[in-house]
Amino acid sequence: MSMDKKYTIGILTSGGDAPGMNAAIRAVVRTALENNMNVIGVMHGYEGLVNGEFRPMGARDVGGILQRGGTVLLTSRSKRFMEPTGQREAIRKMNEAGMDALIVIGGEGSMNGANALSQQGVKVIGLPGSIDNDIWGTNIAIGTDTAMNTIMDAVDKLRDTASSHQRAFLVETMGRNSGYLAVMAGIVCGAEMTLIPEVPTSVDEVAVAVEEAYKRGKTHAIIINAEGSGIRTTDLAERIDQMDVGFKTRMTILGHIQRGGSPTAYDRLLASRMGVKAVEALIDGTHGMMAGLKGKGIDFVPLADVITNKRQVNMEYYRMAKVLAR
């Protein structure tokens, strides 16, 4: 660390926002200030890094944001930053602003960007933030627990009306190419069946599951369809409704509701812990790494490993959801 200039950390959020990102920003800023460092907030993710959209972050700038969803630094999916010229420009802007290190909060794509900067000599720490929970190297990402709770609340409400009318509800969850949210929703929402990208499922199989639920005397049936399952929820609903499965069907696409809202206690705590650890890691000379929850502790894993490994859905949970649907 230089003696004449305060060590300066840049911080940005990138990709899809996730509840708890603000809690992580707050933790980074306050831990840095506690250690006599400066923090510069980068607006609009990597796009703002390329453009030099910077603002100094003081303790009061992160007041009252712990409980807020979204990200006060705003976010984007930057095409320009994916190109080497954009990355070179970003590094130039960082140097001009006197940034010694960068903390990136985001999902898989954001960790790719963080690794690209790291390869070019920038001191980077990644924090996993994504409702999809598809990032390798952490048990769970910031925002996933809140999204899960949002799905659970929504399906509980849908179940009320589903059983009153004796209907089958097809509910679409987010998750991009990962079935994580859908599988976990299958368990916590008591779904009859869960369709995920990892397990190809036919419309006929869904029809059988709904019909069997009807024959077993259930008052309703809930089918969770992950957005990446390969079957569009609208098509599925239409085709099941045309079949004679006992229940009439309705569908709900939860969409971006899953990305918003006040972070749960779990997400606030996870984000705070990761934010603190990220700054402490930089102080210890660690970089080129992502914070991950391993067991009960926060560990650091190389960004190079994060981007080359694919996080798999634990199929034990998929089987469990099936057993519990009886």
Report the catalytic residues: 132
Nearer to ligand F6P, 86 or 107 (CB): 107
Identity of the residue, 41 or 129, whose beta carbon is nearer to ligand F6P in the bound complex: 129
Q: Can you tell me which residue has the tokens 């060590």?
A: 7
- Diameter of the chain measured on Cα atoms: 77
* Residue 40 Cβ vs ligand F6P, minimum distance, rounded to whole Å: 26
Residues 6+ apart with CB under 8 A from 251: 169, 170, 171, 172, 233, 234, 236, 237
Question: How does 240-276 read in b/e, with b if 16+ C-beta sit within 10 Å?
Answer: bbeeebebebbbbbbeeebbebebbebbbebbbbbbb
The residues, ordered by sequence, that sit 6+ positions from 32 with a Cβ below 8 Å of its Cβ are 9, 38, 39, 279
Q: Are 225 and 199 in contact (CB under 8 A)?
A: no
CB of 166 to ligand F6P, least distance (A): 31
Q: How far is the CB of 231 from ligand F6P (least distance, A)?
A: 16
Facing residues of 13 across strands?
Answer: 105
Nearer to ligand F6P, 16 or 288 (CB): 16
Q: Which CB atom, from 145 or from 211, has the smaller least distance to ligand F6P?
A: 145
* Phi, psi (rounded to 5 degrees) for 290: -115, 140
Separation of alpha carbons 129 and 36, rounded Å: 26
| Least distance in angstroms from the C-beta of 163 to ligand F6P | 28
Q: Nearest distance from residue 259's CB to ligand F6P, in Å?
A: 5
* Cα separation, 107 vs 121, whole angstroms: 21
Nearer Cβ to ligand F6P, position 164 or 312? 312
Sign of CA dihedral 143, 147, 148, 150: positive
Minimum CB separation of residue 107 from ligand F6P in Å reads 5
Q: What are the residues binding ligand F6P (CB under 6 A)?
A: 16, 107, 130-132, 174-176, 227, 259
What whole-number distance in Å separates Cα of residue 148 and Cα of residue 163?
22
Instruction: Give the three-class secondary structure for 220.
Output: coil
8 or 144: CB nearest ligand F6P: 144
